[in-house]
Amino acid sequence: MNLHVVIGFGPAGATTARLLAQRGHTVRVVTRSGRSPEPGIEHVALDATDSGRLIEATRGAAAIHACAAPPYHRWADEWLPLAASLCAAAEATGAVLVMLGNLYGYGPVSGPMTEDLPLAATGPKGRVRARAWEQARSLHEQGRIRAVELRASDFFGPGVTDGGHLAARVVPRVLRGKPVSTLGDPDAPHSWTYLPDVAAALVELAGEERAWGRAWHAPTAPALSTREMVGRLAAAAGTGPVAVRRMPPVVLGAAALLSPLIRELKEIRYQFDAPFVVDSGAYEAAFTVRATPVDEQAGATVAWWRERLAAAR
């Protein structure tokens, strides 16, 4: 089977690499620190912004899956050098560049988000994510690389521990039947993208030439509010109704003084203070991956967290 190179081994990179290995592909994972080998996956330690070394690591690859991300508070400085190195590797090797993106580039919008919306973000994180894709798309249009971007909403599911709004701050409390605090309006409709669906879509797009040259929204179930999603998780856990409360502004302000992550979330607060809904109809009309039913998502997420917490005892 083909060689696929996965950049990054966070939740998205790890899930994608393991899915590729399960399907019989040769898989090489690139991270700064490397990891111990696991069945079907070779791990290589290098800095992906070093284009020379990245080119050597990706020679012979059919696809480069770009799943790495700089630390959240360093996006403005580090995203574009990483994106430039990925594009250089794609150009030198001929591998398809499959970029994992998000919805920041659109900025605040009214109504469901579709791929034909302009990338009109005004905040630094949204602008840099938009520029990274625009650089790859320009090179694709020039015939220098082959590139595609998959845009996902907030991740949740097995493997998602940090950074997800339905992750470490929420699921362990749901398992204990404890109240949950939310950063925004707990009743605003919100799209949640299930991590295994992201990995399946990344793998599918790598092999679909007709998908290249544009962005697609990852298959995502109909939007549900944070309160509704917590209810689904609580039902799966059998812990009964769990209270969901909006974090008071004074508490959020105090938390921002201590947490760089909370401070950085100011740019995207609009995503949780108002409806934030993604339309993945274009992907679903063209390709085969579909969003996993929400109750299955909740059940798998609860089971994964229970196993993780039990192992930590």
DSSP 8-state assignment for residue 32: S
* Rounded-to-10 torsion of CA 193, 284, 275, 134: 80
251 and 240 Cβ atoms separated by less than 8 Å? no
User: Cα(122)–Cα(20) distance, rounded to whole angstroms?
Assistant: 36
Q: Hey, what CATH topology would domain 3-157+192-221+277-286 get?
A: Rossmann fold (3.40.50)
Is residue 115 exposed (0-12), middle (13-18) or buried (19+ Cβ within 10 Å)? Answer: middle
Domain edges within the chain = 3-157+192-221+277-286, 171-187+224-276+294-312
Count helices and strands (H / E) in the chain. 12, 11
Nearest residue to 7 (alpha-carbon basis) of 88, 77, 73:
88
**Amino acid identity at 126:** G
Predicted TM-score of the model (pTM): 0.95
Check whether 240 has a pLDDT greater than 90.
no
Helix (H, G, I), strand (E, B), or coil: what is residue 247? coil
Mean pLDDT (the chain) is 94
Token pair for residue 281?
């109809």
- At residue 119, the pLDDT reads 97
At 229, is the pLDDT very low, low, confident or very high (cuts 50, 70, 90)?
A: very high
Condensed to tens digits (0 to 9), the pLDDT of residues 264-301 reads: 778 888 999 999 999 999 999 999 999 999 999 999 99
**Section 181-197 average pLDDT:** 95
Write down the residue that tokens 């690389």 correspond to.
Answer: 145
